[in-house]
Amino acid sequence: MDESRILRTEYSDVMQKSFIDYAMSVIVARALPDVRDGLKPVQRRVLYDMHELGVKYDRPHRKSARIVGDTMGKYHPHGDSSIYDALVVMSQDFKKGLPLIDGHGNFGNIEGDGAAAMRYTEARLQKITQEAFLADLDKDVVDFVPNFDETEKEPSVLPVKIPNLLINGSEGIAVGMATSIPPHNLGEVIDAMKAYMKDENISTRELMRYVKGPDFPTGGIVINEDELLEIYETGAGKIKIRGKVEVEKAKGGKVNLVVTEIPYTMIGANIAKFLSDVAALAESKKTMDVVDISNQSSKEGIRIVIELRKDTDVNNFTNMLYKKTKLEDTFGVNMLAIYDGKPETMGLKQILKANVDFQYEVATRKYTNLLAKELEKKEIQEGLIKACNVIDLIIEILRGSKDRNMAKACLVEGKIEGIRFKSKESKIMATQLNFTEKQANAILEMRLYKLIGLEIEALINDHEETMANIYRYEDILARRDSMAQVIMNELDEFKKQYSRPRRTVIENAQEAVYEEKKIEEMEVMLLVDRFGYAKTVDMATYERNKEAADSENKYLVKCKNTGKICIFTDTGMLHTVKVLDLPFGKFRDRGLPLDNVSNFDSTKENIVLIASQSELNLYRLIFVTNQSMMKVVDGGEFDVAKRTVAATKLADNDTVVSVAIMKEQKNIVLQTTDGYFLRFPIDEIPEKKKTAIGVRGMKMSAGAGIEAVYFTQNAVEFVIKYKNKNLVLNSIKLGKRDTKGVKVRA
């Protein structure tokens, strides 16, 4: 290896440069839109490719796979899914205020169902996309740059004639920055753009007389109108949006609350989440007003029906939906776009200024190009008219010339050497000819039928039209007012053809306030069966079914319905559950698995104690582990706000065998796996914090562990079955903590 070619450099410098290069590539060439055409590179490339393929609005649709493949092969060397996703989004009228692509087939829906595979769907350009985005590409109005392998040329920006960045909005996540621009109403944005063109010193407040605020394709209500001015001045802020609800009377005096428009942020999976959130509010008894909920949405629009009870306070219930569900949500605005090659957060006026400047630049290039073409036409037309006046001489020159070059030299420079003329007059006149190069070529290529009188008249009329065009183009290029009028006329035409009424209502609404109905506090019995299914029943129901309840359930805990349940597991964790989160009702109801309402995982841990938190606050707990570590902990330490905390500290490979509430117990009995029993007073167990491991309760043989823990009271006989024989635990000699205990034989 040639060591002279090895570049030695600081590793951190290489990393820094590489990361910055990567970040800028993502920012500029992938994730953020250009302020001029409002398009990200992938969107621009898809539209340009469709233009090149001729997939126009008045032609048949083409397979999406054909468009995606062509775009990927020519302009966008990334995954086909990103290209197809961009194509799909540009066709969805519930995401874009102005869809740019006309999709044919399943292009997804507002409820989050994805589009069909690209081999099944077809697409073509929308009419406005052709007219406002791609119309002047042949007039050298934008720069073309080489594609990734320099085999094709692609436009660096499309000559878009409307402020697309505002009309369609944009969302994208780059490196270290993100853009989030809401869609707006086409007619309003065009009016604001014209207002800026008439007065460049116009304020944002005055511009907002035209642009009232965002106009989401899903409708809805923007409720913080007073905050919009600052958002549009700075380009950042939060827009609060609500869905639109209507009240309908139903049979039997009931009321239906119907959601007819949703917040823009609810598009997709959030509709299903809204339905489940409302169902959860009913199940958790946060509201008793819901009878049924159904999604009756169709192609005609959103229709989510919530059936309510007769005596429901509809206003209070609606406010609860605004507070507890996504029916009221926030749209974070960050109007970040590529401006002059760099990412910049811009306000409304800055975006309009960038678009107006771009329109003037495009118009200047367009009319400069058109003027050049008209001047060329003028030159040729004047040459042909002049030729028609001396057509006999020209025919004589053509017949007398030996080749084309000899005839052309005579027409341009008056050279007559080698040309045979019929008369001296013709020869003299020929020397005086001085057509231009282009005129001479046009004369030599002219067909004889052009000498017909009507054709000559048409030529003169064309010349007059050309002169009028030249005068018009020169006026547009010379006077900014004339150019502004041309741009505004085009904007008016787009507004006339494509504007639609505003869908989103802008207002200042009061904050949603609702009164939670206070739950009447009552004692209930928690029942947990051996499969881990839990439910609560009122005490009267429990008393009526006491015998069945005691025999069928593994855990029975008396608690308050407003309280919490504590679940201690063998892994040393404590999981808490609100009693209200558990189903309450009939004795024979199945209940819910504890896994569903808490962080408890029945596949990884086992329950050793379930107790109510209010009871724990009154007592102390005794912990015993498999490795014979034990301690007493004040129950108040387990009054925690978190759903899951560590209840105790465990040594490696140790597990909790028993957690017991200390009440009237006097002695504790530890049983090992190899048949040793140790009985000693509970008073010998020290009180520790829950974060402590504890002290050793019993000396054990190698490989043995604590198998069971029992508690006895003085003068109360406690009998257990051990190796098919009755064993009276009180008869075991009272010993000391941290001793071996006695071996009990069968």
Task: Give the ranges where 446-528 is alpha helix by DSSP (H).
Answer: 453-478, 480-498
Query: Is residue 550 within 8 Å of residue 604, measured between CB atoms?
Result: no
For residue 715, what is the DSSP state? T
Token reading at 517: 């109905």
Which helix (H) or strand (E) is 558 found in, with range?
strand 553-560
Which helix (H) or strand (E) is 127 found in, with range?
helix 127-132
Query: Is residue 527 within 8 Å of residue 553, measured between CB atoms?
Result: yes
Q: Which of helix, strand or coil describes residue 598?
A: coil
Query: Is residue 657 within 8 Å of residue 608, measured between CB atoms?
Result: yes
Is the C-alpha dihedral spanning 531, 533, 537, 541 positive or negative? negative
Phi first, then psi, for residue 314 (nearest 5°) are -60, -40
Token reading at 365: 């290039």
Which helix (H) or strand (E) is 15 found in, with range?
helix 11-26
Query: Is residue 650 within 8 Å of residue 625, measured between CB atoms?
Result: yes
| C-alpha–C-alpha distance, residues 367 and 470, integer Å | 10
Is the C-alpha dihedral spanning 140, 146, 151, 154 positive or negative? negative
Tell me, rounded to whole angstroms, the distance of Cα 230 from its chain centroid: 24
Tell me, rounded to whole angstroms, the distance of Cα 600 from its chain centroid: 32
Residue with tokens 């209507």: 246
Query: Is residue 241 within 8 Å of residue 222, measured between CB atoms?
Result: yes
| C-alpha–C-alpha distance, residues 706 and 641, integer Å | 32
Q: Is residue 479 classed exposed, middle or buried when 0-12, 13-18 and 19+ CB atoms within 10 A define those classes? A: exposed
User: Of residues 22, 75, 84, 120, which has the active-site annotation?
Assistant: 120
Q: Helix 437-445 and helix 404-413: axis angle, to 10°?
A: 130
Token reading at 351: 């975006």
| C-alpha–C-alpha distance, residues 74 and 152, integer Å | 7
Query: How many CB atoms are closer than 10 A to CB 168?
Result: 26
Which helix (H) or strand (E) is 597 found in, with range?
helix 594-597
Task: Give the ranges where 286-347 is alpha helix by DSSP (H).
Answer: 314-324
Q: Which of helix, strand or coil describes residue 644?
A: strand
Which amino acid is it at 576? T
Q: Which of helix, strand or coil describes residue 534?
A: strand
120 is known as an active-site residue: yes
Summary count for the chain: helices (H), strands (E): 22, 35
| C-alpha–C-alpha distance, residues 24 and 513, integer Å | 46
Q: Which of helix, strand or coil describes residue 654?
A: coil
Question: What is the C-alpha end-to-end distance of the chain, expressed in Å?
Answer: 83
| C-alpha–C-alpha distance, residues 436 and 313, integer Å | 89
Which helix (H) or strand (E) is 358 found in, with range?
helix 348-389
Strand 221-222 and strand 505-506: pairing? parallel
Residues 6+ apart with CB under 8 A from 141: 159, 362, 365, 366, 369
Q: Which of 235, 190, 498 lies closest to 345 in space, CA to CA?
A: 235
Query: Is residue 33 within 8 Å of residue 336, measured between CB atoms?
Result: no
Q: Which of helix, strand or coil describes residue 217?
A: coil
Integer CA distances (angstroms), 552 to 282, 431, 526, 549, in order: 28, 124, 13, 5
| C-alpha–C-alpha distance, residues 289 and 247, integer Å | 14
Catalytic residues: 120
